[in-house]
Structure 1
């Protein structure tokens, strides 16, 4: 992000536009919506500028821009339609200590003016850092169509009511009050009674919330999917947006955590096989502690919470503490990995069963039905199997598995940095060692990437 988006306070401050043509007028159309004091400096003002000056809406100075003209100005726009003159204006304005925008010159500008959706006091700014103005306009048009003009009216009335609403406790109850006002009460009242009905409706709503008992805390055990934010369920995204506390494991990437409310408390409860971990008891205690205080907690787990996610232990702790809970499924890593290599996890005439197994458990490397897995055509998704690859290889071959059985290791399934390591059972430990890396890996035993499937005999010879 080269341009940091902020909203600059302009009330009563001076903004200067150098230029007298259509470009300067275009900037004034936006700036006149602010409460800034607007000065236009130009030798040849457009008649429309003369009219604005006569009406007292701008201060018009009819001479070239000179030294000192930007003193005490918050912003300066160089909009003369002459690149050479714009650069001269910018140099003088910077010397006076002002931030300068050269119209249509992104590289030399100190700030940019975004596309704006105006529902005063609700303002949405859309910027693409000059990369795609057409895209910014398309987003603006979409938002203009989605947001009712009455939204600004409701926001203005709500703004004047904020002090009274502080009687509600901070956090969940206050958020729910405002959400009900803006998305339910206000649209209905405006449609039936107009703006005059908003204040009485807001007072009645506040009285109801003040009289209501405090909302109990709860915990949602949410699957974050394999890592791609676009693979989150709609329900998961909605709960992240509402949560007071998010307790996440190490498999949840920052891109998904960014979807949580900015005010939410984010707690890293990462666990790593054979590495540093927060104990399961501590995680359960954290959930109970925050929910008991009335917080809405999202326990965010990579993949699906019901697949090797210690879901039952956490549900038991919540139930014992009398905390309400729900489970939100997510896409598990096996599905994402198989999709990434273009394969189905089940296939007629190949495997009528799919095994989801773990490479290690609380006692160490996990024992499985190795004889069943070693049969021709068997397919398994092996979670947390990278460190135990040699153990898995040995057990399978001991029970008769073909050394040339394809195995595909998928690292960071579904993410931009995903890697596919196609090998065979005979080569599995060495192939993983050669690939290196310390990211999450799932092993797809019995599956090769679709592109390599036709070349399996040659693949076997290569890795023999």
Structure 2
């Protein structure tokens, strides 16, 4: 059955809903949002409907169904669990030429209530003609993840200036170019970043310009998360689908890159120990080159751009050169890898603070406050520390960290090949070498690391020594 799609303006119009339970409540809520005057016929109402009735948001008819309830209404919805009653409502509505919907019964319905993606005033409705509403909801979920939440504000802005836009560009081809700029250019970006006044000013300037505007280049600094594509944020996913060019790091997984726009140019700018190395200055020049060519660039970094990702340097470069940019945070490895290893970074009894450290080279280690880091009841998370495990362990032991402090070394965290090696601090370098740990790997040191063995839920089982156990509060205090 093919349905005729129709968007109805119900503002101020009476609509009847028969039924007073949870299903009816959902339908009534949507009708109220559309501005309808809702009459509810039922013998009993849910708690929320009783409250709405007391607030006079709905008109309650407390009785058994009477066809006269339909007098003067524009739409009717039957939302009871009694199919016979629902059929009576539908038949009475049809007799009066009133469109009626019977919830979960397309055979009795004259219209279907679709799954909706709401970016008001932009509204997208999805229908399967009542055949498979669950599939319609799945399609809705997909669209929700793809469509920018700022689109509603953009449509509202275009709506306010529609007459001036048509006057400025009476020819459809030129007007289409303007609308492409409105969507692809800086206006939508400003709206996304809660800068509505600047967005409107930019639109007004474009209306006064002599030439048809064209999209300019821009950069998004995007965190790709630790590797599992399911941990990518919605903003990051949308950025990947808008990108013309993607400059990505070594730690960005293939599964994440596979989510990008198919025709986007992909440029590997990863830094590899002992291998090919892209200088930071070269990355800056690539950003500048692509932006000057009018391309939308995504600078895609593993984890979060601002946690040992040099995102701050790239942001400063972009600002210095007047390049429009946005920052999309990512789930950093400290949080994600710890969670996937069953380790809480903080714990009421065992860890009251977290320190994020980089073990990349002796210079990084020399700059650290080792007496402070050697204290108990805190969690140390070390990025890029595989090559300096021996020196890091030595420094902590020298400054008083207890030799039996638990550690967990997480290799390829959040990926299918994740591996966790746990033990106690004094044996860390030996165990890492014996297990053949290679980058990328994240090191967690502290009392909470003992939970890795007992609470492992993802990837290969934790390899642990018999000494790795969570210390009691008394033992932890004695180690301080």
Q: TM-score, normalised by structure 2?
A: 0.53
Contact kept, 8 Å, 1:354 with 1:379, in 2: the verdict is yes
| Separation (CA, whole Å) in 2 of partners of 1:204 and 1:365 | 59
Q: 2:176 aligns with which of 196, 206, 229?
A: 206
Contact kept, 8 Å, 2:240 with 2:259, in 1: the verdict is yes
1:333 deviates by: 0.4
Matched residue SS, 1:250: coil
1:138 deviates by: 7.6
| Separation (CA, whole Å) in 2 of partners of 1:268 and 1:457 | 39
1:351 deviates by: 2.4
What residue in structure 1 maps to residue 453 of structure 2? 452
Alpha-carbon distance change, 434 to 456 in structure 1, aligned in 2, over 3 angstroms: closer
Matched, 1:231 2:239: no
What residue in structure 1 maps to residue 297 of structure 2? 297
Could you give the per-residue CA deviations for residues 29-80 of structure 1, whole angstroms, max 9, x where no partner exists?
A: xxxxxxxxxxxxxxxxxxxxxxxxxxxxxxxxxxxxxxxxxxxxxxxxxxxx
Size of the alignment, in residue pairs? Answer: 279
| Separation (CA, whole Å) in 2 of partners of 1:408 and 1:233 | 27
| Separation (CA, whole Å) in 1 of partners of 2:386 and 2:466 | 25
Could you give the per-residue CA deviations for residues 178-208 of structure 1, whole angstroms, max 9, x where no partner exists?
A: xx9xx989xx9xxxxxxxxxxx996464364
Q: How does 1:123-162 map to 2 (within 5 A)?
A: 141-142=135-136
Could you give the per-residue CA deviations for residues 405-427 of structure 1, whole angstroms, max 9, x where no partner exists?
A: 11100111111111111111111
Matched residue SS, 1:344: coil
Q: How does 1:109-124 map to 2 (within 5 A)?
A: none
What residue in structure 2 maps to residue 335 of structure 1? 335
Contact kept, 8 Å, 1:235 with 1:328, in 2: the verdict is yes
| Separation (CA, whole Å) in 2 of partners of 1:303 and 1:207 | 37
Contact kept, 8 Å, 1:341 with 1:448, in 2: the verdict is no
1:213 deviates by: 1.8
What residue in structure 2 maps to residue 371 of structure 1? 371
What residue in structure 1 maps to residue 441 of structure 2? 441
1:438 deviates by: 3.1
1:344 deviates by: 1.4
| Separation (CA, whole Å) in 1 of partners of 2:138 and 2:386 | 50
What residue in structure 2 maps to residue 421 of structure 1? 421
| Separation (CA, whole Å) in 2 of partners of 1:410 and 1:338 | 8
Matched, 1:249 2:249: yes
Q: How does 1:167-246 map to 2 (within 5 A)?
A: 203=173, 205-206=175-176, 208=178, 212-246=212-246
| Separation (CA, whole Å) in 2 of partners of 1:146 and 1:316 | 38
Matched, 1:394 2:364: no
What residue in structure 2 maps to residue 326 of structure 1? 326
Matched residue SS, 1:388: helix
Contact kept, 8 Å, 1:404 with 1:424, in 2: the verdict is yes
Contact kept, 8 Å, 1:221 with 1:305, in 2: the verdict is yes
1:140 deviates by: 10
Q: CA RMSD in A?
A: 3.4
What residue in structure 2 maps to residue 280 of structure 1? 280
Matched, 1:404 2:412: no
| Separation (CA, whole Å) in 2 of partners of 1:312 and 1:220 | 13
| Separation (CA, whole Å) in 1 of partners of 2:239 and 2:177 | 27
Contact kept, 8 Å, 2:243 with 2:261, in 1: the verdict is yes
Could you give the per-residue CA deviations for residues 275-294 of structure 1, whole angstroms, max 9, x where no partner exists?
A: 43100100111111101211
Contact kept, 8 Å, 2:423 with 2:465, in 1: the verdict is no
Unaligned runs of 5+ in 2: 1-130, 142-150, 160-169, 181-210, 456-462, 470-480
1:458 deviates by: 3.6
What residue in structure 1 maps to residue 25 of structure 2? none
Alpha-carbon distance change, 145 to 429 in structure 1, aligned in 2, over 3 angstroms: closer
Alpha-carbon distance change, 272 to 441 in structure 1, aligned in 2, over 3 angstroms: same
Q: Which moved more, 1:369-378 or 1:306-315?
A: 369-378
1:450 deviates by: 2.2
Contact kept, 8 Å, 2:352 with 2:377, in 1: the verdict is no
Contact kept, 8 Å, 1:341 with 1:449, in 2: the verdict is no
Could you give the per-residue CA deviations for residues 324-379 of structure 1, whole angstroms, max 9, x where no partner exists?
A: 11111000001012111222111223222210000025946554111112112221
Matched residue SS, 1:448: helix
1:272 deviates by: 2.6
Matched residue SS, 2:349: coil
Contact kept, 8 Å, 2:407 with 2:443, in 1: the verdict is yes
| Separation (CA, whole Å) in 2 of partners of 1:423 and 1:364 | 24
Could you give the per-residue CA deviations for residues 294-341 of structure 1, whole angstroms, max 9, x where no partner exists?
A: 111000000011100111211121112110111110000010121112
1:439 deviates by: 3.5
| Separation (CA, whole Å) in 2 of partners of 1:144 and 1:399 | 56
Q: TM-score, normalised by structure 1?
A: 0.54
Could you give the per-residue CA deviations for residues 243-284 of structure 1, whole angstroms, max 9, x where no partner exists?
A: 001000000011111111111110000013454310010011
